Amino acid sequence: MTARPVVPGSKFLLLLCGALLCCSCTYMHHRGNDLKDMFDGGVTSSEDAEFAFYLGFFNFLTFGFSRFDGTLHGLCSGTTGHFPAHQHGTGLLLWGHEELGYDHSNYPVTVDQPDAYSVGPLGLVLGPRPPFRQTLNCPKLFHFGWYGFTLNCHFTEFADFFLGWVGLDIYDDDEVAAPAEEAPAPATE
């Protein structure tokens, strides 16, 4: 009888699986949340006929036009659901303007007060510049009539996800539950 040869890398894979099983559930929960934060996307719908054909590449090159005020059915800021959405954009390759907002408790701006900033090489020089959370995003907006779809990749969230594996949290969104406060002792006289 001969022993089976060990598959290259199988020991590493076994060690990795063991390490992941031993990790704190909270730690893995935060990595999952960081993973969900990397994308906003889903199906869009509107009550009125709307139009969006807009492509953005890292706020450096943009192309198209978008005037969409409706609902995003999908993933937004790490949560799935139905979210009122405001997606306005104009992209002329070297210059563009974006306004993106969602009514969501985790999203820092709303439909009524969206982030408004310039994009493209000229837009980044002339300003206003995108806020940090929108610095390296890539919105893809397609909406024709009453239905469409959208996908927005947040590449700064990619950095937060990967750096989170070594304990760095650049967005400071890996909240640690505060210890329960003790009830005050009854007063004795």
pLDDT at 2: 64
Coil, strand or helix at 21: helix
**20 in a structural domain:** no
Is 11 within the bounds of a domain?
no
How many CB atoms are located within 10 Å of the residue 101 CB? 22
Residue 174 is assigned to a structural domain of this protein: no
Task: Tell me the CA distances in angstroms from 164 to 34, 75, 153, 161, 167, one per residue in order.
Answer: 8, 21, 18, 5, 5
41 pLDDT above the threshold of 60: yes
- Print the domain residue range for 158: 27-164
Whether 182 is covered by a domain: the verdict is no
> Quick check: is 100 in a domain?
yes
Domain count across the chain = 1
- Report the pLDDT value the prediction gives residue 107, as an integer from 0 to 100: 59
- What local confidence, expressed as pLDDT, does residue 180 receive? 47
**Contact of 90 with 65, CB cutoff 8 Å:** yes
Q: What is the mean pLDDT of the chain?
A: 79
In tens, the pLDDT along 50-71 reads 999 999 888 888 999 999 999 9
Any domain includes 169: no
Is pTM beyond 0.85? Reply is no
**51 touches 144 (CB < 8 A):** yes
Kindly state whether residue 19 falls inside one of the protein's structural domains: no
Per-residue pLDDT tens over the stretch 66-117: 999 999 999 887 788 898 988 899 999 999 998 887 776 655 566 677 778 8
Q: According to DSSP H, which parts of 46-154 are helical?
A: 120-126
Distance, in Å, from the CA atom of 12 to the CA atom of 3, rounded to the nearest integer, reads 20
**Residue 95 token pair:** 């210059």
